[in-house]
Structure 1
Amino acid sequence: MRPPLSGGLPAMDAAVLLLYLIAVLWVGLRAGKRPKTVEQFALGGHKMPWWAVLGSLIAAETSAAFFLGTPAEGYALGNYEYLQLSLGTVLARVLVAYLFVKPYFTYRVTSIYQFLDLRFGPKTKSAASATFLLTRLLASGARLYVASILPVLAVKLLWGGGVSAGQELSIYTASALLLTLFTTLYTVAGGIRAVIWTDLLQAGLMLSGGLLTLLLLFQKIPWGSSSPLTEAAHLLAALPWAETGIDPHRNLWENLGFVLSSDYTIWAALIGSTFITMATHGADQDLVQRLLTAKNHHRSRLSLILSGLTDVPLVFLFLTIGIFLGLLARSTSDPRLPAQANEVFPYFILCQTPPGVRGLLVAAIFATAMGSLSAALNALATSFCEDWAFRFLPVASDEKARVRLLRGSTVLFALLSVAIACATAFFALHSPKSRILPIVLGLFGYTYGPLLGVFLLGVLTRSRGSDLGNCLAMSCGLAVVALLSGAPQALLGLVSPAEAGRLAWFPSVSFPWRVFVGSISTFLVGLCFRSSARLYPAAEA
């Protein structure tokens, strides 16, 4: 099929995309109401309705990595295996709602790492805050790269594929800069209120785009004697929901090694995924900051639990898109179809959707990118200022000076995110077989395990863990994850492939298990230390 971009982006698509950008700017600038205090900028004055917080959580969870990465998983695997990981996300949200949310409200923290300062001391707070800042910055840059895939693919189609690696990297950079510019404008001006209200718009656009894509696929696939519902039901029935990865012919350690090295088993769904979501929704300033904008912890809990109930159908929707894209690819044998799974959904949007609809889907991808980026920038600025920068302001500094510093920090992290997006693009260009979700989740896996472990130590114990001991525990957790994630083999492989081969026996864990391993290691090491426990969150919760 000849791509409909040979004459450039149709005027109708450009108009839809421009209308979306104008609408987001208008909503963000108008809803923000120019916050004058740190509490208004970072927490919206604790006046956000629970349903707005719910919409913002959905928008945060459906980033560009989700919008494009989940169909890529469905396309690459051809089944619903990834859906199993959604089971743990529901359980995790209930645990977070009743373990973490009330203490954060009780002690009126702006940055959740202030809670660790109250519980343990400044060293623990600084270590956790630094971990969040580094990890969230890396993940935000990776997500920004994902959103830039579509413009790059569009240029390839326009130029007949004759794009050098250097030119491709330049397009990634220009796309990341454009998206970041629009996002930073309303985030700097309106703070968290602008983030949440624009997230509502973006969540609606994302959902509409997914449903519209599925409808188009229904129409394009030559089903024959089958049907879309029959095909989906067949794949779900064939899914090994009770796949344990346990073989009676292997011994205990062999079975354990196989389970921990497998991406999708029932154990990864119920344990690994639960710990991932506990980390992202309980120990990550980005998502928790949205929860803290609610009027009280009861409404915050409601938003959080309901967001979990929407996660499973959303994952199912976008996995179905990927699976049906595979069916369409096999039935049409399009020679222009990209080899990379990451680019198949963007290719379908650009080449096989009618004008107007194409513009809406492109806007939906931009919406997912801008929604996750705006919240990340606000959370990064809040954590950086509350945990680090405000201490260097003069004692007599007023709220205006603090808000100015928050806005300046937002711009700084926007620029850093663009730089990391470019670095991620460079990596992807030299690793064409890489998949989106393992990259993004892999970033969390290394550092969010230790981060979750120290928070669990704070809310589940009354006097265990110490300020200095927690720093040691987090270091041990990070080291264990690195050792069990193939780092020794990778380092030796740079020196000598033969040396790396000698460590083939060394145990390795897949990305759904890294947070679990890191948090348990951190928690167990932290238990070895005793603190004076300046407050008792376990009793308060």
Structure 2
Amino acid sequence: MQFLEISDWCVIVVYLVAIVTLGISMGKGQKGARDYFLGGRNIPWWGVGLSILATETSALTFIGVPALAYGGTNLTFIQIVIGYVLARVVLTIWIAPSYFRGEIYSPYALIDQTFGTGGRLTAGAFFLIAGTLAAGVRVYVTCIPIQLMLGLSESGIIWAILLFVGLSLIYTCVGGLKAVVWTDAIQFGLFLIGGIFVVSYLPGLYGSGGELLQDSMDAGKWEWFHGGFSLSMPFNIWMGVFGAIFLTMSTHGADQLIVQRVLACRDLKEGRKALILSAVLILPLMLLFLIIGILLWTFYQKFPEMKIAVPEIRPGVKKADYIFPIFILSELPSGIKGFLVVGIISAAMSSVSSALSALASVSTMDFYQRWFNPKQDDASQLKFSRVSTLAWAVLLIGVAWWTKSQPTVLNVAFSLSGLTAGGLLGGLVLSLLFRGKQRPAWPLMIGMILSLIVVFCVKTYAGDLIAWPWFTLIGLVTTMLVCMGGMLVSGQRFRSAVNQS
């Protein structure tokens, strides 16, 4: 606590009170699931676009991306971001129109239209597994600076996790998606301003901007392009053009975490605008935080003594995810460091509140209502939705506690998501390709389950040979081949039965 002054605490407390109050105020007038999970489908596109950015970046950007550049990957991660942008173009043109053919609450309803309830429930289960794991990682990342500023031991981070999830839960449970979107928009602005401030402030600490730039260039930290093809290298141009495109098509086209926001837009035109806005801003945003990592690495080469001890993965190897929070707490002036801590907290609160809303949406609309209580009234929907939100918060706390044993959280988050991303994308793509005629569910269900097994085996036994961005493509191909093979067999059996009759 010695690194935070009264002015810093005032900034933090005022922010937390304001954001929770704003979120709670958004809960007025809610009548049912449409208001709670889709914001009444009346949220403007620019608010949705900023919410998408806040959700997909969060604390993994504020802390994890600088850690990548600091730890040795330099600017090469930016090649992945190229794929992020290109994938949004494909989504805007091809997949987004399907979201607005009628009113749906998740992309898994599209799978239901082609493959029935079995396909929908399988896809929903995939999302619930991946969403819980990835959101739990984000909770842990956010609690790193909270742990430091409260003076907690590494094992004492559980108290920071409980505090953080509890605050996120309050406004999400009461305010629903509308609260999530508007608090996201504010939180995105806060951590963007925080990142810009650090880039402008660091040169003064170093001595001069020119010296800082030259030293980082001499060390090769501004290297961004890797043209060589390698399945084991996560950051090269081939990965950006192919692997990242399929990964983003899954995270933004088949993952409820992002799709829920697009569904909250008034119509297709506004949904497309929201996706385009996120495409325009994602590249400069990621570049900003990669540059922070480069500047931090250069700074600590000149001033290697840190005022706060950095936990180690193993003797002599420090956890890079702690570097940026430690810099904020130990090097920034009073008041400003409080604002930067708020930036980290706001970044993660946006992603966790988003995850809670998305998880509750799928468990309520794709499972509970579809399978157990299809005729529930609006009041019952709203009540179950809030109970579901609370239950998912408890699970996220457990996953966050498990994450503390993992050395590099960004790679953990992406690897976990990659286990199910290919199966989800495969289910959605097949549903769109074969739309208009009901297909048997079992080929898709088997394909998605086998894709999970295949990707898990690849990660476990060939993780050093095949980098995580390829997991989505492997899962996609597995799902599509198995499902189409199953549909072919099913069709032949049907024709044989007809001929025999």
What TM-score results when the alignment is normalised by the length of structure 2? 0.91
Residues 1:90 and 2:64 are matched in the alignment: no
Residues 1:518 and 2:475 are matched in the alignment: yes
- Preserved CA contact (<8 Å) 2:113 2:438: no
The CA deviation string for residues 458-500 of structure 1, in whole angstroms up to 9 with x for no partner, is: 1234569631000111122122212222x2479xxxxxxxxxx
- Preserved CA contact (<8 Å) 2:403 2:409: no
- Tell me the CA shift for residue 345 of structure 1: 0.5
SS in 2 for 1:466: coil
Pairing partner for 2:261 from 263, 286, 290 = 290
Q: 1:237 to 1:70 in 2, by over 3 A?
A: closer
Distance 1:395 1:471 in 2: 23
Distance 1:224 1:368 in 2: 28
Which residue does the alignment assign to 2:392? 413
Distance 1:239 1:55 in 2: 26
* Paired positions, count: 481
**Matches of residues 445-484 of structure 1 in structure 2 within 5 Å?**
445-462=418-435, 466-484=440-458
Distance 1:38 1:210 in 2: 36
Q: 1:46 to 1:394 in 2, by over 3 A?
A: closer
Residues 1:181 and 2:152 are matched in the alignment: no
Pairing partner for 2:233 from 256, 262, 265 = 262
- Single out whichever of 105-114 and 187-196 deviates more from structure 2: 105-114
Which residue type is aligned with residue 367 of structure 1?
A: S
The CA deviation string for residues 153-185 of structure 1, in whole angstroms up to 9 with x for no partner, is: 335xx5xxxx7xxx522x221111111111111
Residues 1:62 and 2:57 are matched in the alignment: yes
Which residue does the alignment assign to 1:50? 45
Distance 1:187 1:225 in 2: 45
The CA deviation string for residues 362-383 of structure 1, in whole angstroms up to 9 with x for no partner, is: 1111101110011111111110
Pairing partner for 1:439 from 412, 416, 429 = 412
Which residue does the alignment assign to 2:284? 313
Distance 1:44 1:221 in 2: 47
Which residue does the alignment assign to 1:280? 251
Which residue does the alignment assign to 1:397? 376
SS in 2 for 1:120: helix
Which residue type is aligned with residue 480 of structure 2?
A: F
Identity of aligned residues (%): 33
- Tell me the CA shift for residue 31 of structure 1: 2.9
- Tell me the CA shift for residue 111 of structure 1: 2.3
- Preserved CA contact (<8 Å) 2:369 2:376: no
- Tell me the CA shift for residue 14 of structure 1: 0.5
Which residue does the alignment assign to 1:128? 123
**Matches of residues 96-245 of structure 1 in structure 2 within 5 Å?**
96-155=91-150, 158=151, 167-169=153-155, 171-223=156-208, 226=211, 228=213, 238-241=223-226, 243-245=227-229
- Preserved CA contact (<8 Å) 1:442 1:511: yes
- Preserved CA contact (<8 Å) 1:449 1:518: yes
Distance 1:57 1:335 in 2: 35
- Preserved CA contact (<8 Å) 1:464 1:529: no
- Preserved CA contact (<8 Å) 1:119 1:458: yes
Pairing partner for 2:298 from 327, 331, 352 = 327
- Tell me the CA shift for residue 278 of structure 1: 0.6
- Tell me the CA shift for residue 130 of structure 1: 0.3
- Single out whichever of 388-397 and 121-130 deviates more from structure 2: 388-397
Which residue does the alignment assign to 1:504? none
SS in 2 for 1:143: helix
Which residue does the alignment assign to 1:369? 348
Distance 1:111 1:395 in 2: 16
Distance 1:421 1:318 in 2: 23
- Tell me the CA shift for residue 226 of structure 1: 3.4
Distance 2:285 2:125 in 1: 32
Unaligned regions of 5+ residues in structure 2, if any? 311-317, 492-501
Which residue type is aligned with residue 244 of structure 1?
A: G
Structure 1 vs Structure 2 CA RMSD: 2.3
Distance 1:93 1:230 in 2: 36
Residues 1:354 and 2:328 are matched in the alignment: no
- Tell me the CA shift for residue 26 of structure 1: 2.1
Distance 1:28 1:60 in 2: 16
**Matches of residues 490-509 of structure 1 in structure 2 within 5 Å?**
508-509=465-466
SS in 2 for 1:529: helix
- Preserved CA contact (<8 Å) 1:78 1:326: no
- Tell me the CA shift for residue 390 of structure 1: 2.0
Distance 1:275 1:44 in 2: 29
Which residue does the alignment assign to 1:530? 487
What TM-score results when the alignment is normalised by the length of structure 1? 0.84
Distance 1:237 1:29 in 2: 44
The CA deviation string for residues 219-241 of structure 1, in whole angstroms up to 9 with x for no partner, is: 11234863538957996874335
- Single out whichever of 507-516 and 229-238 deviates more from structure 2: 229-238
Pairing partner for 2:33 from 30, 38, 60 = 38
SS in 2 for 1:354: coil
Unaligned regions of 5+ residues in structure 1, if any? 246-258, 429-433, 491-506, 534-541
- Tell me the CA shift for residue 275 of structure 1: 1.0
- Preserved CA contact (<8 Å) 2:19 2:183: yes
- Tell me the CA shift for residue 419 of structure 1: 1.3
- Preserved CA contact (<8 Å) 1:464 1:530: no
Distance 2:107 2:269 in 1: 18
Q: 1:102 to 1:233 in 2, by over 3 A?
A: farther
Which residue does the alignment assign to 1:495? none
SS in 2 for 1:168: coil
Which residue type is aligned with residue 453 of structure 1?
A: G
